[in-house]
Amino acid sequence: MAESGQFLIDGKPTPFRAGQTIMQAAAEAGHYIPHLCYRPEFPPHGSCKLCSVKANGRFTSACFEPVTEGMKVESETDEIQGYRKRVVQMLFAEGNHYCAFCEKSGNCQLQAVAYHLGMEDTHYAHQYPQRKLDASHPDAMIDHDRCILCELCVRASRDLDRKEVFGVAGRGLQARLVVNSPSGLLGDSNFALTDAAAHVCPVGAILPKRQAFTTPIGMRRYDKHDIGEESSLTPIADKGE
Amino acid sequence: MNAPTEQPARLTVATCSLAGCFGCHMSFLDVDERIVELAQLVTFDRSPLTDVKHCSERVDVGLIEGGLCNVENVEVLREFRASCRYLVAVGSCAITGGVPAVRNKFTLESCLREAYIDAPGIDNPHIPCDPEIPLLLNKVRPIHEVVRVDYVLPGCPPPAEAFWELLTALIAGREPELAYEHRRFD
């Protein structure tokens, strides 16, 4: 197999190196493919389905699919953007995403992807889950109703912090984030605000305490800039969140 | 001597607040002096800003603020849907239930008990049950779960520019298109 080659994203010739996924090659070429559960530090997860593309006419996840020479990838077509919008609407209707009073509003990747895709309403019937808020930790809290099960905190705690504080338990709609402590509460785990896992949540589920609403409206990450314009693949430490 | 020739039909607009805070109406009024321009182009039908008690038979645009929290909200929403050619869900409450839907975490009974029986400083504690008072729904709901919605204006509240874009687009007979900074959820 060749060391490198070319493939097409929406008709645009894009270079790739052998072994790269569509997401990796696209990111390196500065081409944004919407995603929530993918970060370059971790193995791909494949839960959010936002990076779905058509590769040689077949639906696949860009975070998993290796690029092949001459592969034709469709990403920004009306069909695929329409599917992605429905996926984001499902995530909104599944949780309690009241952006109006969420501390993450303006800095939230779920919200920003919704803006990017032109989402205006939630389309589906709302689930209104009734999960318990976990405010047991002195420095952080978990609002489980905002969790999108991307498992970035699970992976960060396991692979970077070597603590394994988080996991996902339950099946189907009952699946939820759990904490590895005797009581199941964050306050009884060895989680610390200095952990990578404390800064990787793309939504308002894991939040540091006493740091809310510090950025003026208009200066938040996605107030003026579409998420597609930024390099979403900057390392966790540089995100400043 | 002759009256001016027939004017082009003016767009009629009805508005209401269901389980809303009137903040969307205030944001609508934030179009400021352009309300004068708008008054040349539209006629307001049933609205908290007019004294019209019920929608006319045929209204062009119905702006609905607030979600559904009681049976009267549902009746009013159905009246608007029956009368309005275009129904617009305005603001987070109409679109998702919004902040009032936080009460969906609790049973209706526990909310009423907290407000009318257990709260401190209450004389003659009892839950109001006069038939004049509309019964609360078990849960707060967005309006699209009860009627078909044609357009939405997201935001809590939507910015004045979003109202302006929606109405001027409908007057001009084109599809409204919200700019990035006018399409927000907070």
**Model pTM score:** 0.93
pLDDT, residue A2, reads 56
* pLDDT greater than 80 at residue A237: no
Q: Let me know if residue B166 belongs to a domain.
A: yes
Return mean pLDDT, chain B.
94
Nearest to residue B92, comparing CAs of B162, B11, B177, B38?
B162
Tell me the average pLDDT across A62-75: 97
What are B14's two structure tokens?
């009805």
Nearest residue to B27 (alpha-carbon basis) of B124, B126, B153, B113: B153
B157-181 pLDDT, tens digit each: 999 999 999 999 999 999 999 999 9
Point out the residue among A115, A121, A226 whose CB comes nearest to the CB of B152: A121
R_g over Cα of chain A: 18
Interchain contact, A100 vs B185, CB within 8 Å:
yes
Considering only alpha carbons, which residue of chain A is nearest residue B177? A118
In a domain? residue B49: yes
Residue B48 in any domain: the answer is: yes
Domain assignment present for residue B185? The answer is no
The three-class DSSP label of residue B28 is helix
* Contact of A32 with A232, CB cutoff 8 Å: yes
Given a cut of 60, whether residue B46 has pLDDT beyond it is yes
ipTM: 0.91
Whether A121 and B156 lie within 8 Å, measured CB to CB: no
Subunit contact B184:A102, Cβ cutoff 8 A: no
Domains of chain A: 4-76 (3.10.20.740), 82-226 (3.30.70.20)
SS3 assignment, position A176: strand
The answer to whether residues B43 and B10 touch, using CB atoms and an 8 Å cutoff, is: yes
A218 pLDDT exceeds 50? yes
How many domains, chain B? 1
Q: Classify residue B113: in a domain, yes or no.
A: no
Asked if residue B31 is part of any domain, the answer here is yes
Instruction: Count CB atoms within 10 A of the CB of residue A1.
Output: 7
A98 vs B142: CB contact, 8 Å cut-off? no
Q: What is the pLDDT of residue A3?
A: 77
Radius of gyration of chain B (CA): 19
**Domain enclosing residue B91, as ranges:** 11-102+136-175
Which residues from chain B sit within 8 angstroms of residue A112, using beta carbons?
A: none
Yes or no, beta carbons of B149 and A121 under 8 Å apart: yes
Cβ distance B92 to A120 less than 8 Å, yes or no, reads no
For chain A, the average pLDDT equals 93
Q: Within a domain: residue B72?
A: yes
Spell out which residues of chain A touch residue B89, defining contact as CB-CB under 8 Å. Answer: 121
Give pLDDT tens digits for A125-176: 999 999 999 999 999 999 999 999 999 999 999 999 999 999 999 999 999 9
Mean pLDDT of A19-43: 94
Tokens of B156: 């809590």
Q: What's the distance, CA B177 to chain centroid?
A: 20
Within 8 A by CB and 6+ apart from B168, the residues are none
Residues of chain B that touch chain A, judged by Cβ-Cβ distance less than 8 Å: 89, 92, 95-99, 101-102, 104-105, 139, 141-142, 144-145, 149, 152-154, 156, 178, 180-181, 183-186
Cα separation of B6 and A239, whole Å?
62
Q: Is residue B122 part of a domain?
A: no
Quick check: A101 contacting B, CB < 8 Å?
A: yes
Q: CATH code at B68?
A: 3.40.50.700
How far, in Å, CA of B20 to CA of B109, rounded? 21
